[in-house]
Amino acid sequence: MSEEERIAQLSDRLGIPLDPELIIQSHTPYTQLVRGKHDQKPLENKTVLVVGGDGDKCRDVAKQYGFKSMLTPGDIFMAHPSIWPFSSAFSHYYKGITKPLTNSIDPIDPSKGLKIDAILVFNDPRDWALDIQIIIDLLLSREGIVGTISDKNNRDDLPNRGYQQDGQPALYFSNPDLLWAAGYHQPRLGQGGFCAALEGVWSAMTGGSESGVALLKTMIGKPHKLTYDFAEQRLIELRNKRFQTDVPAPLETIYMIGDNPESDIRGAHSYISSTNVNWVPVLVRSGVYTGGTPTWTPKTIVDGVGEAVSWSLAQSNWKQHLSDR
Amino acid sequence: MSEEERIAQLSDRLGIPLDPELIIQSHTPYTQLVRGKHDQKPLENKTVLVVGGDGDKCRDVAKQYGFKSMLTPGDIFMAHPSIWPFSSAFSHYYKGITKPLTNSIDPIDPSKGLKIDAILVFNDPRDWALDIQIIIDLLLSREGIVGTISDKNNRDDLPNRGYQQDGQPALYFSNPDLLWAAGYHQPRLGQGGFCAALEGVWSAMTGGSESGVALLKTMIGKPHKLTYDFAEQRLIELRNKRFQTDVPAPLETIYMIGDNPESDIRGAHSYISSTNVNWVPVLVRSGVYTGGTPTWTPKTIVDGVGEAVSWSLAQSNWKQHLSDR
């Protein structure tokens, strides 16, 4: 779901108009990859593999983020069913959601073939087997060209034994959670579960950490740094806009209100702000955390979000500031 | 596919009548589990989870083997969709192949609920995510009762840190091959790939080998001992039947003709016969192996199966034996 759709849903439920800029989802930081960031070249005019989500929704979100060329594993499967013959069981599903490839795998001269420049897991994959097979193929390929194999793989004179050293697409995950809670009475495997399955296959294919091979990847989402960077930057921008000035007083404190000690609270603890903002973790009892000693210690524990906001405003002496002016 | 179906296919192609006893597939040793074997109690009247294969075929094979009560992960999903909500994408597939459960998950009093006594992976799973979620659930359960969680898990006073120490169903795989060759120009992930994915999730859930936790499982299929045991026993039985005597001369030599150094040849090398049979590995160039130094050294390398049989007959001095009589 895009930020526009998500905020419209919230606006509707709360009965107040809200700006899409107010919401950051786990995959929102992917917007930065369109123009490039750190060691990732701009992806706007490159081909990204969009993995996960129901039907074709994540492709739509990627398009709204500004990516121009997007493929899904299902697109590749429908054009080349032999790449993972077992997904023929799910052809009925793929028929409705896939798009034709603009370029094909060419086993005779692969350099002419389909090239993927980045792999973006947006949301929980449905067909783990197909998605893992295609991601593994790309991570072992030469420069992300589907159907090739890098001759640097398994060379002990190269870093990571030569794996992912040949221009293969970078691999991004939007959410590291191993488990999440839904309708079933026990937690279910999340995107982190898919990543663990991929790690297992990667280990079996390459020898894994025992052989000195890691799966090189970038994790977005709480508790990872990139998401906190992105949120802090967004808060500073919003604040500048609200105060209608280019040089407002520096942002001093961010209250991180969350229900999950392992992601929300841990992230606020571990994050080191480049602008010296003080992140204050506030844990609520109304979600994943229900009681006991949390795995990461918050500044305070309160019953729900309303109470958390009141507590934060009181801490920041907000009323006093107002009356000072 | 059952042994009857497989041998009928072969009979038809070769134009000669053949006995189903002549063929052993990777999952044929599961027939022994019906009456029990080693530390596995008889499963004939227990409920087994049949995993993998296209549609409902493996359930049919299990039934032909003599199992009386069989479930598939799809059966559980269709009765309890919240157990893995993401498989709703594949409901069209499951609708055609699942059967109603005779008992349900009871979250209030799970002891009344669905109980699985063994997990048998027959063939390559299609829906890795559902199959992994349900297998993980069972491995963490109390006595294989779906929807429970064992309070022995993660206890450091127990072997394997308490995991799989509470009457959980044993887990069997019929084929350890990480890769197999089919229509695509590069090898594809096999059942061993699924097992590696499961191992990855198991590690993430339990802490894995770094925390002293293994995934306890039984591997059948080449190169594993159980399959060689089974094959040797079958050959001795067939030989006794053919020679119409209860006390024939002991079987001295078995020629293992295979195309895969890592499974066929490795298995023949590693197997220690309890009846002192000498296993002689013969590698053919007409399959997986096409040239170069094989990873496991055979006694000889020949072009194809016909040549391998001629070589073996010559080695065993068969003609001379015949003329001696």
A108 & A206 share domain: yes
A152 & A258 share domain: no
The answer to the question of residue B242 being in a domain is no
Of A267, A269, A304, nearest to A283 by C-alpha is: A304
Question: What integer pLDDT is reported at residue A282 of this predicted model?
Answer: 97
Please name the amino acid found at residue B225: K
* Residue A84, both tokens: 């993972």
Question: Considering CB atoms only, which of B147, B183, B203 is closest to A196?
Answer: B203
- Measured CA to CA, the distance from residue B315 to residue A187 in angstroms comes to 61
A193 & A57 share domain: yes
- Which residues in chain B touch residue A53, judged by CB atoms under 8 angstroms apart? none
- Measured CA to CA, the distance from residue B149 to residue B164 in angstroms comes to 11
Mean pLDDT, rounded, for A69-82:
97
Q: What is the DSSP letter of A238?
A: H
- Measured CA to CA, the distance from residue A40 to residue A49 in angstroms comes to 15
A44 & A147 share domain: yes
- Which residues in chain A touch residue B137, judged by CB atoms under 8 angstroms apart? 186
B196 & B268 share domain: no
B59 & B182 share domain: yes
The answer to the question of residue B230 being in a domain is no
Number of Cα atoms under 13 Å in the Cβ half of residue A308: 21
* Residue A132, both tokens: 């893992």
Of B104, B132, B117, B171, nearest to A188 by C-alpha is: B132
Cβ separation B200–A205 shorter than 8 A: no
The answer to the question of residue B321 being in a domain is no
The answer to the question of residue A210 being in a domain is yes
- Which residues in chain B touch residue A198, judged by CB atoms under 8 angstroms apart? 197, 200
Mean pLDDT, rounded, for A168-176:
96
Q: What is the ipTM of this complex?
A: 0.92
Q: What is the DSSP letter of B124?
A: -
The pLDDT-based confidence of A320 (bands split at 50, 70, 90) is: low
- Measured CA to CA, the distance from residue B21 to residue B18 in angstroms comes to 9
Domain termination residue (choose one: B198, B219, B240): B219
Residues above pLDDT 70, as percent of chain A:
97
From B311's Cα to the closest Cα of chain A, the distance in A is 35
Say if residue A218's pLDDT is above 90. Answer: yes
Question: What integer pLDDT is reported at residue B325 of this predicted model?
Answer: 42
**Cis bond before residue A125 (omega within 30° of 0):** no
Q: Rounded to two decimals, what is the model's pTM?
A: 0.92
Say if residue A142's pLDDT is above 60. Answer: yes
Domain termination residue (choose one: B199, B219, B239): B219
- Nearest chain B residue to A134 by CA: give it: B188
How far CA B196 is from CA of A209, A312, B179, B212, in Å, comes to 14, 46, 11, 18
Q: Please identify every stretch of chain B with a pLDDT value under 70, giving residue numbers as ranges.
A: 245-248, 319-325
From A199's Cα to the closest Cα of chain B, the distance in A is 6
- Nearest chain B residue to A96 by CA: give it: B89
Say if residue A8's pLDDT is above 90. Answer: yes
Preferred mutation among B51, B76, B77, B127 to probe A, highest tally of A CBs within 10 A: B127
- Measured CA to CA, the distance from residue B279 to residue A246 in angstroms comes to 82
The CATH number of residue B89's host domain is 3.40.50.1000
The answer to the question of residue B119 being in a domain is yes
A263 & A121 share domain: no
A157 & A284 share domain: no
B98 & B150 share domain: yes
Residue with tokens 């979600």: A287
A135 & A16 share domain: yes
Mean pLDDT, rounded, for A151-170:
98
Using DSSP's 3-state secondary structure scheme, residue B219 falls into strand
Residues above pLDDT 90, as percent of chain A:
81
A121 & A260 share domain: no
**Residues spanned by the domain of B24:** 3-219
* Residue B185, both tokens: 């120009």
Q: What is the DSSP letter of A126?
A: S
- Nearest chain A residue to B204 by CA: give it: A196
E strand or H helix at B172, and its extent?
A: strand B170-173
* Chain A with chain B: Cβ pairs closer than 8 A: 141
Domain termination residue (choose one: B200, B219, B238): B219
Query: B134 near B76, Cβ under 8 Å?
Result: yes
Q: What are phi and psi of A212, to 5 degrees?
A: 80, 25
A215 & A256 share domain: no
List, for residues A97-134, the tens digit of each pLDDT value.
999 998 888 878 878 889 999 999 999 999 999 999 99
Q: State the CB neighbour count (10 A cutoff) for residue B7.
A: 18
From B34's Cα to the closest Cα of chain A, the distance in A is 29
The answer to the question of residue B7 being in a domain is yes
Question: What integer pLDDT is reported at residue B24 of this predicted model?
Answer: 92
From B184's Cα to the closest Cα of chain A, the distance in A is 5
Cβ separation B132–A86 shorter than 8 A: no
The answer to the question of residue B186 being in a domain is yes
Mean pLDDT, rounded, for A72-92:
97
- Which residues in chain B touch residue A134, judged by CB atoms under 8 angstroms apart? none
The answer to the question of residue A98 being in a domain is yes
Question: Considering CB atoms only, which of A55, A128, A184 is closest to B128?
Answer: A128
Higher confidence at residue A317 or residue B129? B129
Of B30, B19, B116, nearest to B66 by C-alpha is: B30
Question: What integer pLDDT is reported at residue B29 of this predicted model?
Answer: 93
Domains in chain B, number: 2
The pLDDT-based confidence of A325 (bands split at 50, 70, 90) is: very low
